[in-house]
Amino acid sequence: MSLITLGLSGALGHDAAAALFVDGDLVAAVEEERLVRRKHAKGCMPREAAKFCIRSAKIKPRDINTVAVSYAPISIFSRARWHYARRYWYAPERGVDALFNGNRRYRRYMHEVKQLLDELKIPWHKVRFVPVQHQLSHASSAYHMSGFAEKTAILTIDMKGEYASMFLGYGEHGRIHRIKEFYDPDSLSGMFGAITDYLGFDMLDGDAKVMGMATYGDPNKYDLSALANFDGKHFKVNTKLISTVGLRRFKDKSRGHFFSKKLVDLLGPRRAGELFQDPYVHYAASIQKLYEDAAVALVEHYLGPVLKETGKLAFAGTGALNVKLNQRLAAMPLVKELFVPPAAGDAGTAIGAAAYTLSTQNVPIKGISDAFLGPRYTTERCLRACEQHRDKPIFEVLENPPARAAQLLGQGHLVGWFQSRMEFGSRALGNRCILANPMQAAAVDSVNKKIKFRESWRSFSPSIIDTLAEEVLGSKHPADYMTMSFDVAPQWREKLPGLVYKDGTSRAHVVKKEANPRFYRLLKEFEAVSGFGVLLNSSLNRPGEAMVCSPEDALNLFFGSDLEYLIMQDLLVTKRPEPDWDN
């Protein structure tokens, strides 16, 4: 009889997801946002996500043996709650609550989980329920999914879970061992997030903008070291300036921010205008450098002995979404290979909670081989969606969709590419993509003007056929999940200007035939058309929307934008010509 384990995330009020393991094999995973069409699924439990996982595995809810969640109670005897109370001494109601009612949020979440399982017909009294600490779930999502057989250094950098904000440890023989944890408010991600807020961006989505903005600034023009005390071993944020609560928070138009009035007095008013004006663009560069320097030093201090043994590092958490930091970590002399999972943020803790639970039962866990774990739709299903859509699209069945896509891309058109199972994680990896010819400046510009409406200074990402990757990136390091930036070779910077950051780096995706045969074939066909197996690859969604999941989602995007061509499985979809009212 198979051991079936369901993992759930979403205790922190965003990025709810579900993942399902059959024995040690991950068979399905999906973010709730993709199914309910609400970015980050704020305030949602992973209801539809869990239903999909159960259907995908062709099991009945009562077949599930274990339910694991990425949130756990923290003992009063733990250093975490006492640290929190001591560091927030200036808001005594917070400290008292942490000491005497420190698992309040966990109890509330358990009530929601029980309601969810009842709705899913998963019998609470029969299932084994396992709460896993949030940072352990992140750690497991990296280590157990990495496929590394050797002893592996593990790093998580996160805003916070229950209390912990960073985890440094190692994995060996399937078990995770803790070396050091840091606790809220002493959080590297919290420090970066506070400045993200100060620079005028939303903390959930703005970190990537600050990272890109940083490439335009001078990190040495302004010193932000006052934000944290850091000596290479100890890390402590300055709560007089950032990670503030209660009366210390800077308030504007009735909204509290994650920094204080003292920070505004020190740095000037919160950015509200031009991005690249002095001092804000340089603040972005400075916080990126401070963030990278601190992370690298912590890894050297706490994980150096482990890395000296094998050179393997697994990294997850919100902080692992920073591809520039990942490049710095991969370049460390002790690091031979860095693994960052495709869903390094909170959605990935659904996988991590389940994998960690399996590891405690001595179940061998198979590492992730690709990120295509979501819903799959056949050509017939896509055809029915076209027939029933209110805008009555024109469609035809293609004999060779990759060849037709390559032809259209070679002509400078944008192509929506909707194929097979949806990716798990925030990156489009070849199945839910907007594609363009990166050699044509007009095509790159059209992605912004017609669909994405992103700031023109933000670069897109390339998908590169594996036979060309080393020439373009000058590296053999794996880049399966678009989780790391690389230094682009000088001759390729000129050829791919829209895909390269200001500092000459790019968040690249290297495509292997075994990972995605059809997307690989498209790159081969485009190579035959253009001479280069490189495409601009952006996620198939509009601003503020989750990546499309179903054929109906794809058609709604298609007709709600200026995208000219959409290839769904074997169907080429186009729009009916606008009527000529002048004749």
Q: How many angstroms separate the CA atoms of 84 and 102, rounded?
A: 10
Q: Exposure of 269 by Cβ count < 10 A (0-12 exposed, 13-18 middle, 19+ buried)? A: exposed
Domains and CATH numbers, the chain: 4-79+87-146+344-360 (3.30.420.40), 188-339 (3.30.420.40), 379-574 (3.90.870.20)
User: Rounded mean pLDDT of 460-468?
Assistant: 97
| β pairing state of 228-230 and 235-237 | antiparallel
pLDDT of residue 436: 96
What CA–CA distance (Å, rounded) separates 117 from 161?
Answer: 22
> What is the predicted pLDDT for the residue at 461?
95
Is a pLDDT exceeding 80 seen at residue 579?
Answer: no
pLDDT tens digits, one per residue of 375-395: 999 999 999 999 999 999 999
**How far is residue 243's CA from residue 250's CA, in Å, rounded to a whole number?**
11
- Structure confidence at residue 348 as a pLDDT band (50, 70, 90): very high
Are 298 and 166 within 8 A, CB to CB? yes
Q: What is the mean pLDDT of residues 481-496?
A: 95
Q: What CA–CA distance (Å, rounded) separates 134 from 343?
A: 14
Res. 59 pLDDT band, cuts 50 70 90: very high
Read off the pLDDT of each residue in 405-424 and give the average, rounded to a whole number: 97
User: In the prediction, which pLDDT does 581 show?
Assistant: 55
Q: Give the Cβ contact number of residue 175 at 10 Å.
A: 12
Q: List CB contacts of 213: < 8 A, sequence separation 6 or more.
A: 199, 275, 276, 281, 284, 285, 457
The greatest distance separating any two alpha carbons of the chain, rounded to the nearest whole angstrom, comes to 81
Whether the per-residue pLDDT at 113 is higher than 90: the answer is yes
Half-sphere exposure for 318 (CA within 13 Å, toward CB): 26
Give CA–CA dist 152/178, Å, rounded: 12
pTM over 0.75: yes
Please list the residues that pair with 183 across neighbouring strands.
164
Amino acid 452: pLDDT: 83
| For residue 578, pLDDT beyond 80 | no
Percentage above 90 pLDDT, the chain: 91
Q: What is the pLDDT of residue 582?
A: 57
Residue 483 pLDDT class (50, 70, 90 cuts): very high
In eight-state DSSP terms, residue 543 is T
pLDDT band per the 50, 70, 90 thresholds, residue 577: confident
Give percent above pLDDT 70 in the chain: 99
